[in-house]
Amino acid sequence: MKHANSIKTLFTNVIVISVVVIAGSSLVLAQAGPTLSISHDFLPHQDFDEPIELDDGTTLEDAQVRLSRYRATLTYPIVFSGGRTILVNDFSYQLIDFEYKNWEYPLSRLHSASYTLMLQHRLSQKWSAWVLGTPSMASDLKAEVSEKDFNFQVVTAFIRHFSERLSVGIGVAYSTQFGSGEILPILAFDWNNGKNLMARAILPASFEFWYRPDPIFDIGLLVSGDGNNFRGDPEIYGVANPELRYTMLTVGPAVKINVSRQVRVNIEAGLIGLHRFEFYDADDEAGSYDLKPSQYLRVGLQYGG
């Protein structure tokens, strides 16, 4: 069991740290102008994978939880040297609300905010370099904000451009989200057929494939991971340094609708393959919960670019 838990924890860490790399890849592809994006995840009530065991010995067989997720992102790129160098500023905020059925739990709301500064530079016709840094905050904001609510991530990657249709990158991500620094290797690729097909991946956390039948809209398939390490209030959870490591993996179809030159509607739907909550007191695991697979719907609006 201890070995299984260590694998599970490692997997969660990989997904959480990879989120900053996914964000970084989006910044690389940013348009020449500022962009504002907002999105809302619609999730149903989900059953827990196993019954909930309370401290008094009671077992809850029918406990459920529903999450509502809201995200807003402002991206401002600055282009230098005739397009060879791009400096991108990215501000992001996410709110997660919890609603319980047949159970009561003190976790009701989580907040995360981050600022990413990214530099992309074209070294030559065949090579580019990425460097990005992301200070971030993740907390329930019930207690006074302290340095424990903040962490920092750094990513460095080199991209090999084999042609206008294929680029492959390899790099390293470093994060302080779990106390001591974690290092994660990154593999990325970007491919298109020169017409109406495109595939992109940031492994091990995301993959997307797009088909453009018309300039007005794109149809795609997305596989993506999301998560964070949130700090809680010690007085509420009864431990000195409460943390929640949250992970969600989704897969499903998506469509991007270009309403106008600057307005785009994004719609995703599909299956939540993994929805996990791991509770820690510093580095000691206090408990974990998995939710059964369920459907999701994500609706977003993007302006600018």
Give the model confidence (pLDDT) of 59-114 as tens digits. Answer: 888 999 999 999 999 999 898 888 889 898 999 999 999 999 998 888 899 999 99
Over 60: is that where the pLDDT of 21 sits?
A: no
Global confidence as pTM: 0.87
Answer whether 59's CB lies under 8 Å from 53's CB: yes
Over 80: is that where the pLDDT of 11 sits?
A: no
Q: What is the mean pLDDT of residues 248-265?
A: 94
The whole-number pLDDT of residue 151 equals 86
**Distance separating alpha carbons of residues 27 and 134, to the nearest angstrom:** 12
User: Using 50, 70 and 90 to split pLDDT, how confident is the model at 33?
Assistant: confident
Helix (H, G, I), strand (E, B) or coil at 163: coil
Over 80: is that where the pLDDT of 223 sits?
A: yes
- CA distances 197 to 10, 160, 167, Å, are 34, 20, 15
Q: What is the mean pLDDT of residues 258-286?
A: 91
Q: Residue 185: is the preceding peptide bond cis (ω within 30°)?
A: no
Over 50: is that where the pLDDT of 7 sits?
A: no
Over 90: is that where the pLDDT of 236 sits?
A: no
Over 70: is that where the pLDDT of 194 sits?
A: yes
CATH code of residue 182: 2.40.160
User: Using 50, 70 and 90 to split pLDDT, how confident is the model at 1?
Assistant: very low
The whole-number pLDDT of residue 178 equals 63
The total number of structural domains in the chain stands at 1
Instruction: Name which residue leads in pLDDT, 204 or 270.
Output: 270
Answer whether 44's CB lies under 8 Å from 271's CB: no
Region of 22 please: left (phi>0), alpha (psi -120 to 50) or beta. alpha
- How is residue 291 annotated by DSSP? B
**Distance separating alpha carbons of residues 245 and 2, to the nearest angstrom:** 18
Over 60: is that where the pLDDT of 26 sits?
A: no
CB-CB neighbours of 50 under 10 Å: 12
Q: Which domain holds residue 119?
A: 2-304
